[in-house]
Amino acid sequence: MFQIQDQSLRPLTTAHLAQTMSLLNLSNTELHEKVISELAENPALELIEERVCPLCNRKLGSSVVCPVCSRKVPDEGPIVFMSPRDSYHPRTGSRYEQEDLDLEPTAPENLTAHVLQQLASDLEADDRQLAYYILSSLDDDGFLADPPALIARATRKTLSSVNEVIRLISRVDPVGLAASGPRDALLIQLELMPPCETRTIAESIIKDYFKELGRKEYEKIAADMAVGSAQIRRVVTFIQDNLNPYPARAFWGSGRHQQTADPNVFHNPDVVIRKNQNDPEGPLTVEIFAPISGWLRVNPLFRKAVTSSDEQASEAWNKHLEKATLFVKCIQQRSNTMQQLMSTLVRMQERFILKGDRHLIPITRAQIADEIGVHESTISRAVANKSVALPDGRMVPLSLFFDRSLAIRDRIKEIVRNESKPLTDEEISEELHNDGIKVARRTVAKYRTIEGILPARLRQQKQDRAPLKA
């Protein structure tokens, strides 16, 4: 099984340190570009799909001893394995076996692979093919380009089995994929949520007032549905924050923390955390995405050429060689740090990941740094600009794991949700004190605004029970 050679990891030079730092800061999307450009301009760098035994030419995998001819493979220098799906067990750190799916890491293919992987256990072999056909026929937004009947004819399957597969696809990770349009996608996403008042209202709005929703005609919706306009606004905010009309463009959008980022830009996650497919109660699977798949290493031929050529010519080449070596080491270091970081983080915040915002334990980057024995700025950089897809489908910034107030804000949301009459900030503060959470009134106000909850006076009475719909 592949492992990183620890001795090569410690930063040896200031250059190494500096580059490691700058690489850590990058999200995998950014790193992808970096790697590509580095490969382009440095002839000493090489990306290969498979390592091959130099003696018997058989595939080596990650082993250092050839499984066929049992010869020890000569030391290749720094080499790092990069896979778009680099999953490992957060407790032991040991890696899960990679499935032999072998799909290119380009965006649409990745999505297909991602979905197929989740469906693997639910599908028969030929349904699997059908799923593949459907997935590849989707348009750019991930919606069905052709009506199911057409697909059924093209694949010579029954209409009902086509519909069934579509249903399955739309309910796994990017929820709402393969829907017939944005509206359908939203409805499917809602369907997977626990039933509650908000959900019911949201459903009515999307079903019957989709046009008005797009035009932001909230007053009209409120009047038509005979629901308070404040409530409508709240539900609309909820929809915007938690649902994604274009699931293929990302996993779920999380509007809440996007005030700083451009809300129209969804990026791919750097890390995906999901429950174990076969055993939902089992350990979480953590996948740290690497930008490219394959083995990144210093080209051995190039190395040989440099040492055997004359001094004059090799001067420039040596430089390339050094840079390449450095680069590979830095990438190694980066992935090692990320792995350690996620491992500790997932272990500490397991309850948060599984049970929701309220169980987030406030931790600081410094604590983590201490735990895994690196400088705190390293953690800062590793956390910055990264996003994580959670098992419940939300996509959140990695920094959320260090949010000190998330759990409290979640409590406030619940208190407000369950209040029988609008509570003032003061009262909410007292309520929280009963639970042993001590926060000043002023702070409650701040959290309230962050969560988009209106002040007590503008909050109208909860009219529980069905939000009628004729």
Q: How far is it, in rounded angstroms, from Cα 369 to Cα 410?
A: 27
By CB under 7 A, residue 364 contacts DNA? yes
- Closest approach of DNA to the CB of residue 50, in Å: 40
By CB under 7 A, residue 258 contacts DNA? no
Q: Which stretch binds DNA (CB under 7 A): 5-13, 67-75, 277-285, 445-453?
A: 445-453
- Closest approach of DNA to the CB of residue 364, in Å: 3
By CB under 7 A, residue 411 contacts DNA? no
Near DNA by CB under 7 A: residue from 455, 463, 466, 468: 455
The size of the interface with DNA (CB under 7 A), counted in residues, is: 27
Q: How far is it, in rounded angstroms, from Cα 188 to Cα 252?
A: 13
Near DNA by CB under 7 A: residue from 210, 443, 462, 469: 443
By CB under 7 A, residue 426 contacts DNA? yes
- Closest approach of DNA to the CB of residue 400, in Å: 10
Q: Which is nearer to DNA, 327 or 402 (CB)?
A: 402
By CB under 7 A, residue 446 contacts DNA? yes
Q: Which is nearer to DNA, 116 or 444 (CB)?
A: 444
By CB under 7 A, residue 376 contacts DNA? yes
Q: Which is nearer to DNA, 211 or 457 (CB)?
A: 457
By CB under 7 A, residue 69 contacts DNA? no
Q: How far is it, in rounded angstroms, from Cα 351 to Cα 403?
A: 15
By CB under 7 A, residue 246 contacts DNA? no
Among 119, 117, 109, smallest CA distance to 170 is for: 119
- Closest approach of DNA to the CB of residue 450, in Å: 9
By CB under 7 A, residue 136 contacts DNA? no
86-88 and 294-298 strand pairing: unpaired
Q: Which is nearer to DNA, 196 or 440 (CB)?
A: 440
Near DNA by CB under 7 A: residue from 279, 438, 465, 470: 438
Q: Is 30 exposed, middle or buried (0-12, 13-18, 19+ CB in 10 A)?
A: middle
By CB under 7 A, residue 55 contacts DNA? no
Q: How far is it, in rounded angstroms, from Cα 318 to Cα 320?
A: 5
CB-CB contact of 101 with 120 (8 Å): no
Near DNA by CB under 7 A: residue from 156, 442, 465, 470: 442
Q: What tokens does 282 get?
A: 């089992």
- Closest approach of DNA to the CB of residue 22, in Å: 15
By CB under 7 A, residue 22 contacts DNA? no
By CB under 7 A, residue 430 contacts DNA? no
- Closest approach of DNA to the CB of residue 410, in Å: 13
Among 264, 242, 291, smallest CA distance to 396 is for: 242
- Closest approach of DNA to the CB of residue 365, in Å: 4
By CB under 7 A, residue 448 contacts DNA? yes
By CB under 7 A, residue 410 contacts DNA? no
Near DNA by CB under 7 A: residue from 283, 380, 391, 413: 380
By CB under 7 A, residue 445 contacts DNA? yes
By CB under 7 A, residue 425 contacts DNA? yes
By CB under 7 A, residue 433 contacts DNA? no
Q: Which is nearer to DNA, 200 or 460 (CB)?
A: 460
Q: Given the structure tokens 């990026």, which residue do they identify?
A: 267
Q: Which is nearer to DNA, 354 or 450 (CB)?
A: 450
Q: How far is it, in rounded angstroms, from Cα 341 to Cα 344?
A: 5
Among 176, 170, 169, smallest CA distance to 131 is for: 169
Near DNA by CB under 7 A: residue from 154, 316, 440, 468: 440
- Closest approach of DNA to the CB of residue 348, in Å: 14
- Closest approach of DNA to the CB of residue 454, in Å: 7
Near DNA by CB under 7 A: residue from 280, 441, 461, 468: 441
Q: Which stretch binds DNA (CB under 7 A): 3-11, 151-159, 323-331, 438-446?
A: 438-446
Near DNA by CB under 7 A: residue from 366, 375, 414, 433: 366
**Which residues lie near DNA (CB under 7 A)?**
364-366, 376-377, 380, 402-405, 422, 424-426, 438-443, 445-446, 448-449, 455-457
